Amino acid sequence: MDEVFISCKFSLTNNGDMVLYTAAVTGKGGSIVSWNATTWRRVASKLITRDNITAFNVSSSGRLLACGTTQGDVLIMNSTSLQVRKIVKKAHLGFVTALSFSPDSRALVSASMDSSARVTVIEEEQKKGMNMWIIIFILLIAIAAYFFIQQS
């Protein structure tokens, strides 16, 4: 399987290690490859899209990756798991030529050969566990129960 590397970016992991991300095109589509920048060994590789990747970037926090495709799609991924978090199908009429994250990683700007630019807002990942509203509801029930018991 031949790989053609399209773009690469260095970044830091959560534990401070240097990593190199490369966007590659294979016969099956576009993939992301991560490399340990100390040993230069391939850490992970994952097919992200069936389309060819034409643009690639890493957020300043190092937590997010973004790819643009020949079909004008924009994909945002978690850098650790390489799981796609968001896909904007047909974000552009032509292939994506550039991607840039905002400094706080809450937005991604994409540009295309169709002379358009698009801002995609990136929502924070929902934390697993109890929702804040559930906690507030339980506290209100506990307070009401306390006052009911005090009245009796």
Instruction: Give the pLDDT score at 150.
Output: 85
Instruction: Give the pLDDT score at 54.
Output: 95
Instruction: Give the pLDDT score at 131.
Output: 66
Q: Identify the CATH number of the domain defined by range 4-151.
A: 2.130.10.10
**Of residues 91, 107, 113, the one with CA closest to residue 57:** 107
**Of residues 40, 28, 120, 17, the one with CA closest to residue 77:** 120
Instruction: Give the pLDDT score at 140.
Output: 81
- Alpha-carbon Rg for the chain, nearest whole angstrom, is 21
Compute the residue count for the chain: 152
Instruction: Name the pTM for this structure.
Output: 0.78
pLDDT in tens, 35-60: 999 999 999 999 999 999 999 999 99
CA angle at 93 for the pair 46 and 116, rounded to the nearest 5°: 100
Instruction: Give the pLDDT score at 135.
Output: 75
The residue ranges of the chain whose pLDDT is under 70 are 1, 125-133
CA 85 – CA 96 distance, rounded (Å): 18
Instruction: Give the pLDDT score at 127.
Output: 56
Extents of the domains making up the chain: 4-151
